[in-house]
Chain A
Amino acid sequence: MQSWNDSAPIYQQLADRLAVQLLDGAPPEGEALPSVRQLAGQYLINPLTVSRALQALVDKGLVESRRGQGMYVTAGARDRLRRTERTRFLEREWPALRARLGRLGISSADLDWKDTQ
């Protein structure tokens, strides 16, 4: 069955997963997200919880509701998402990661991160 952790409410974890997919271009901007029922069936999550997750994405301006047609990815959603994810990484994750690299004695020369550019 699907694995969810205890770090955050389920709707938040689903919203995060959907956001990661948006960042990868699935679905692309201007395209429709799967329906609430499709997502509920796919993730085995209550439809109300799915609706909350989608609402969280609406609140972030990443998707918009079109009356009677469902949810669509907004124009500029990927850029906006990438910016907030970059900020989050640099402010929250990087300090901890750098400290860990330091403890392990790993220098920039040991890393092949440039390959991902």
Chain B
Amino acid sequence: MNLIEANELTLRYGKKTALERVSFSIPKGRVYGLLGHNGAGKTSLMKALVGLLPTDGQLSVLGLDPRRQRTELLSQLCYIPDVAVLPRWARVHELITLMSGLQPRFSADRARQLLKRTSVGLDDKVKSLSKGMVVQAHLALIAAIDAKLMILDEPTLGLDVMSRKGFYELLIDEWCDGERTVLISTHQVEEVETLLSDVLMLDEGRLVLNISLQDMDQRFVALSHDPAQADAVAAAHPLLRYRQTGGRGAAIFDGTPPEHVMGLGERIRPNLVDLFMALTRKPALAPSQS
């Protein structure tokens, strides 16, 4: 059984469409990346998944209806919203006590074990911790919930590189066991690429890509070529053309282009950042709607 089944989810705020007929399913044991520019609908989708926003369409999370069974659902999944804050006055061990009272599936022992991996002490006050330490403490607390699904909305936003690395290490080491799934939204695409098993890409409320990284390597073909071949490559209508570091040209095709086009260069790995640029519109470049 899939952990999430979403069928034709649509959400509008007045005239603005946040989600437009979004359908996907998420099985167990995966690391799903939810990618999109700011305003693409990532947070709206995540809020819908945990029952905080109503949508049209059908939605099942852990076999439950998020709108009607929200309390039950929230006791069975781990969720860090984009505006997550821990109470500044609290000490970490007090948060563990708090979680023990709030969350039936929370294990205080597990939380203390996870916190040992961080530089956060049990007697530390939240307000004395750096932003990176707060986020790691939050992850340690959330990961101590015995659940099948974790939903993280932009968890590493505003963290420095060492904190982000520590966060991802904790996530990969302690959460990903082949059974549990995490859905993580971000626009820092290059950092999460290797962590992911699958990608959901949103652009202006539409799901423009839903693919496993393994299939991505097969379906999309990137070609590195001499600058002199640029016109010939362009004539084959790639999704995106760009310049590699070092000055060579490169292009991404959806599907394998004809042999004479492949002959214009060497096949390289289509990276997620380039694919992201190809499939989404940069907000700065989008024509004004007003």
Contact = CB atoms under 8 A, between A and B. Distances in A.
Interface stretch (A37-45, A83-91, A109-117): A37-45
A51 B222 CA distance: 24
B214 A44 contact: no
Interface residues of A, number: 20
Interface string A40-55: 1101111111001000
B176 interface: yes
A48 B197 contact: yes
A46 B192 CA distance: 10
Contacts of A108: none
Given A1-B191, A44-B194, A9 B269 contact: yes
Interface string A1-24: 110111111100000000000000
Contacts of B168: 44
B208 to A, nearest CB: 22
B237 interface: no
A37 to B, nearest CB: 7
Given A1-B161, A48-B214, A49-B213, A10 B172 contact: no
Interface string B182-226: 000000000101111100000000000000011001000010100
Nearest to A12: B269
Given A45-B195, A46-B195, A1 B31 contact: no
Nearest to A14: B194
A46 B197 contact: yes
Contacts, number: 60
Contacts of B196: 46
Contacts of A37: 173, 176-177
A48 B181 CA distance: 12
A6 B168 CA distance: 22
Given A1-B161, A52-B214, A41 B173 contact: yes
Contact of B217 (A9, A47, A48): A9
B176 A47 contact: yes
B268 interface: yes
Contact of B268 (A7, A40, A45): A7
A109 B69 CA distance: 79
A8 B173 CA distance: 25
Nearest to A9: B217
B244 A44 contact: no
13 contacts: A6-B222, A6-B244, A6-B268, A7-B269, A10-B213, A37-B173, A37-B177, A40-B176, A41-B173, A46-B176, A46-B195, A47-B176, A49-B213
Interface of B: 30-31, 161, 164-165, 168-169, 172-173, 176-178, 191, 193-197, 213-214, 217, 222, 224, 244, 268-269, 271
Given A40-B176, A44-B172, 14 more contacts: A6-B244, A6-B268, A9-B217, A10-B193, A40-B172, A41-B169, A44-B168, A44-B194, A45-B194, A46-B194, A47-B176, A47-B178, A48-B197, A49-B213
Interface of A: 1-2, 4-10, 37, 40-41, 43-49, 52
